[in-house]
Chains A and B, each alone.
Chain A
Amino acid sequence: MKRVLSGNEAVARGAWEAGVSVAAAYPGTPSTEILEVMARFPGVYCEWSTNEKVAVDVAAGAAFAGRRALAAMKHVGVNVAADSLFYTSYTGTEAGLVIVSADDPAMHSSQNEQDNRRYAAFMRIPCLDPADSQECKDFTIAAFELSEQFDTPVMLRTTTRINHSSTPVELGERREAGAGREKFPRAAEKYVMVPANARLRHPVVEERLRRLSEWVETTPLNRIEWRDREVGVITSGVAYQYAREVLPSASVLKLGVTHPVPAGLIRAFAAEVGRVVVVEELDPVIEEQVRLLGLTCEGKSIFPLIGELDPSAVRAAAAGAGLPVDHEPAARTALPRPALPGRPPVLCPGCSHRGVFWLLKKKKLAVSGDIGCYTLGFLPPLSSLHFCGCMGASIGVAHGAAKAGLKERVVAVLGDSTFFHTGLPALANVAYNRANVLTIILDNGTTAMTGHQENPGSGKTLQGGTAGRLDFEKVCHGLGIEHVALVDAYDDGALGRAFKSLMATQEPAVLIARHMCALLPEARRQYVPLTVIEERCNGCGVCFNLGCPAILRSDTLDPESHKPLALIDPALCTGCELCAHVCPHDAIANRDQMRLLEDHGGDTCPVGGAGGTER
């Protein structure tokens, strides 16, 4: 039976068909759906681990127990997990161990565009590079077999375009998961990586790579497609699809395995073609290997090094290099378009982070941020986040700035899931080395940016099993931080008071600003769209500075200032009331007033009069 599956769905399906027993991940675009899909299959234990390193340890432990296991992560997650991945290369495993690295060329939702095929070479492990969803499934199954055949972890390296494209896939049956071992292996020379043992394992790793280099010459994962021999393309992954589309007449060596590369096969292919051209996305990984063989080839001299390839980019580059393209690049029609306003992602209407950034903006503080929806606080009009590097970096950077003797206080801001990911050790460092850092934990009860996954603070797990619920206040107190406050993030008064009191101390402090993500179903049930009371609004524009997508500029102008009045889109407004609270003219009806309006049939305004709105 054929079904259209995304690359992520196909990886999950492949792992399940291969009899995987344990899968662990930390959510990260473009990899997240792999575990979300796998969690629905029977017979697989799946979890959101607290971070990618832990996920790899979990998968390794399961593989040591003789059960096939998989860890999935986005490319930068491999950085977090690298320490663990390197030991798995030395120890090997008792059952198939597959690491999925989902790279993100073009940085659709990432902080860099590192090419993780480099990691596979660095770790001396095989790297498989699928080119569509069918290959995602087939290569995942092959990766488990390869892992067991060579006693090595295997990297399945995808890219956003593979993860998030859907193509038809032939479904198969599940191979029953093996019984596994009864006991944890007792083989110190293999699993205890002290120097004496590791020195014995390194030659084993190098010998394994030598044997893999032989295997890779004949595996069907690599193949030659002979066509015209004037041009011979060497390619892998999604770049294969672009090469086939744009250079349909060229012979192709398609590498399903990008580490190690098949030296003999490449030599034989190069000998038969006039011009060797490597088409690959990001780094010249294959190209460098071809050159190391002493062969002449072209690659990054023709195709872009930076960003994601697409058929137009490949066609333009190939045509420029005189390669036999399917057709000339399309001429650009001059379009009578003005410069278009951008549509950047923004904090949603009702986002519980908005009030915190409003406060930080008013206080003109330097803010060390982190990875999550709240990174969007850097955008105008809030513009109140001044650093974001990687997961968990907010607290350490604020600490370092404080220890450097900066006159200005730097506030660290990070989300609930990010706090447990890598914020926790950084906060322990603040507690230990005592800096006057205020850490604000934006607790919206979910891992929102990647699509609302559970985390240790939400008290639920991926598969709905027994879950612990970690208490932020207790954790902070347990670390020895005395000054901890918990407030409702919608209560801007309480937020301001707690902030003031915590900033008064010169000791480590934590402010937990809690309110559930406005996109969660439970939050949606509580929406009460607000409205602007036009006779009070004078178009001062304070509410526009909140950057709330539900607040628009009305076509009605204030008769005196001639500025547009505010207008609230009832289809977008959640009724968080932040705008009602910041409005200096009490011109936005709050939730209680809205209910009164409804009770009065909406045709009279009961909120007028000298009393004004209540706070």
Chain B
Amino acid sequence: MTDGARYNFVLVGVGGQGILLASNILTEVGLAAGYDVKKSEVHGMSQRGGSVVSHVRWDREGVRSPLVGHAEADMLVAFERLEALRFADFLKPGGTAVVNDMEIVPVTVSAGGATYPDQAVVTATFEALAATMITVPGERLATAAGNIKAANVVLLGAISTRLALPEETWRACLTQRVPAKFLDLNLTAFAMGRRVALAA
């Protein structure tokens, strides 16, 4: 996807989906792999069900801007389908879209009568960007691993298959970041995410 000297990631979804923890781990992995790293996110009203966006950048020569520019993300990681569409133009043409198979209906749809876009729109959008799209059933796999909340770690597993880093670096960072009693669960979720992305 790139020469491996630098990576831009944009992670998007809805408050409460564990995006901030996922981007923290992604940042630590970059640092552990010898990159300069920056991560940027907006908190604030996200806890109240709004969209959440987190930018993570790795660069061996040093990261400047904490934000990724439009059409400059090597990878868009969408925890939710509508948010995948909303932030699609961050993705570089030919980049990778990791899309969680999850719909969270906003009140503009449930109460306001707007229409939630269907899967075909998502597929067509990423086709227009000539993107590799990997769909991951994050919540389903996380539930199988033991806790639905580990969907973020399933997605990290999927991401890890598209980067030239040893799997051990990821597992070591997970071990550092995750409470010991949930470690096995998270390592299982991570492995499941890897498996489904490798098969995609």
Contacts and interface: CB of A to CB of B under 8 A. Distances in A.
B82 A343 contact: yes
Interface in B105-121: 105-112, 114-117, 121
Given A335-B88, A346-B49, 13 more contacts: A4-B24, A4-B27, A108-B45, A167-B66, A312-B72, A330-B70, A333-B129, A341-B109, A343-B49, A343-B51, A347-B48, A449-B48, A451-B43
Contacts of B116: 341
Chain B contact-residue range equals 35 or more
B155 to A, nearest CB: 18
Q: Is the interface of B mostly helix, strand, loop or mixed?
A: mixed
A336 interface: yes
Given A164-B43, A342-B108, A451-B47, A241 B66 contact: yes
A161 interface: yes
Closest 4 CB pairs of A and B: A109-B44, A330-B71, A341-B114, A345-B48
Given A4-B39, A165-B39, A373-B48, A330 B111 contact: no
Contacts of A2: 31
B64 interface: yes
Interface in B46-62: 46-51
B64 A165 contact: no
A310 interface: yes
Q: Is the interface of A mostly helix, strand, loop or mixed?
A: loop
Given A109-B44, A345-B49, A332 B71 contact: yes
Interface string B64-79: 1111111110000000
A340 B107 contact: no
Given A330-B69, A347-B48, A552-B105, A544 B110 contact: yes
Interface residues of A, number: 57
B65 A337 contact: no
B50 A341 contact: no
B31 A340 contact: no
Nearest to A347: B48
Contacts of B50: 343-346
A245 interface: yes
A547 B111 contact: yes
A3 B132 CA distance: 33
B125 A337 contact: yes
A207 to B, nearest CB: 39
A25 interface: no
Contact of A336 (B45, B46, B71, B128): B128
B110 A380 contact: no
A311 B67 contact: yes
A604 interface: no
Contacts, number: 167
A441 B45 CA distance: 21
Given A167-B37, A245-B65, A311-B67, A344 B107 contact: yes
A341 B88 contact: no
B93 interface: yes
A343 B83 contact: yes
B168 to A, nearest CB: 20
Given A241-B65, A345-B45, A345-B46, A165 B14 contact: no
A312 B69 contact: yes
B107 A346 contact: yes
B183 interface: no
B65 A341 contact: no
B150 to A, nearest CB: 15
Interface string A150-194: 000000000011001111100000000000000000000000000
B42 A334 contact: no
Nearest to B70: A312
Contact of A108 (B44, B111, B121): B44
20 contacts: A109-B43, A161-B40, A161-B67, A165-B38, A245-B65, A331-B71, A335-B89, A336-B124, A338-B117, A340-B117, A341-B106, A341-B109, A341-B116, A343-B49, A343-B51, A345-B50, A346-B49, A346-B50, A347-B48, A549-B110
A582 B148 CA distance: 32
B178 interface: no
Q: Which of A330, A333, A338, A548 has the most CB of B within 10 A?
A: A333
A340 B124 contact: no
B42 A552 contact: no
Given A4-B27, A336-B124, A341-B114, A241 B49 contact: no
Given A160-B42, A343-B14, A549-B49, A311 B69 contact: yes
Interface string B14-47: 1000000000100110010000111111111111
B162 interface: no
A340 B85 contact: yes
B86 interface: yes
A599 to B, nearest CB: 25
